[in-house]
């Protein structure tokens, strides 16, 4: 069975979804700040303090946002689509109007955020992981023998149980 068309369709689907997600994120970043704050798509930040070891303590502004623990955010001065001061920060905890963020950033970058700044959703480029996963599907026995045939609607799903096998053997003996 030729599986490469199925693999190409799967790859096309994965990359189309990735592109759609990135386009959605860019569209959000480009919205007017005032609208994003009103809808809770952006969180105003009053202050940012480095705690060391890649941790930041962020004091939240007055608006309510949709962000929760585990979300990935970027910090910026008002235009995330132009300049993000801190990217791919993860909200580790939220307590008493503060977030504990985990982020890789330089201390000089933190200094830019001492006055009011903002947090928007962020994302990361996972294409290298997609490529590895698709390669594994294409080359592994379970990918070639199960997953790709399943996606092509050509997986042999006939069950062979012991009773059926014994019945076939009896039938063959009686015919012979």
Q: pLDDT tens digits, the chain, 176 residues: what are they? A: 466 888 888 889 999 999 999 999 999 999 999 999 999 999 999 999 999 899 999 999 998 889 999 999 999 999 999 999 999 999 999 999 999 999 998 888 888 887 789 999 999 888 889 889 989 988 898 888 888 888 888 877 676 667 767 777 787 877 75
DSSP 161: -
- Distance, in Å, from the CA atom of 15 to the CA atom of 165, rounded to the nearest integer, reads 44
- Enumerate the H helices of the chain as residue ranges: 4-30, 33-39, 107-111, 127-139, 141-142, 148-151, 162-175
pLDDT of 2 reads 61
pLDDT of 79 reads 94
pLDDT of 159 reads 62
pTM: predicted TM-score of the whole model, two decimal places: 0.75
Phi/psi class of residue 107: alpha, beta or left (left: φ > 0; alpha: ψ in -120 to 50)?
Answer: alpha
């Amino acid at each position: 069975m030729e599986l490469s068309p199925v693999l190409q369709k799967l790859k096309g689907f994965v990359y189309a979804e990735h592109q759609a997600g990135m386009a959605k994120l860019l569209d959000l970043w480009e919205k007017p700040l005032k609208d994003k704050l009103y809808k809770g798509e952006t969180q105003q930040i009053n202050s940012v303090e480095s705690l060391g070891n890649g941790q930041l303590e962020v004091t939240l502004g007055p608006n309510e946002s949709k962000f929760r623990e585990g979300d990935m955010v970027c910090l910026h001065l008002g235009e995330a689509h132009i300049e993000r001061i801190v990217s791919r920060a993860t909200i580790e905890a939220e307590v008493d109007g503060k977030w504990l963020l985990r982020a890789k950033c330089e201390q000089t970058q933190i200094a830019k955020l001492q006055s009011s700044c903002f947090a928007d959703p962020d994302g990361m480029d996972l294409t290298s992981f997609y490529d590895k996963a698709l390669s594994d599907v294409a080359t592994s026995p379970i990918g070639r023998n199960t997953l790709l045939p399943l996606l092509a609607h050509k997986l042999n799903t006939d069950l062979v149980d012991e009773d059926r096998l014994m019945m076939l053997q009896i039938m063959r003996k009686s015919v012979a």
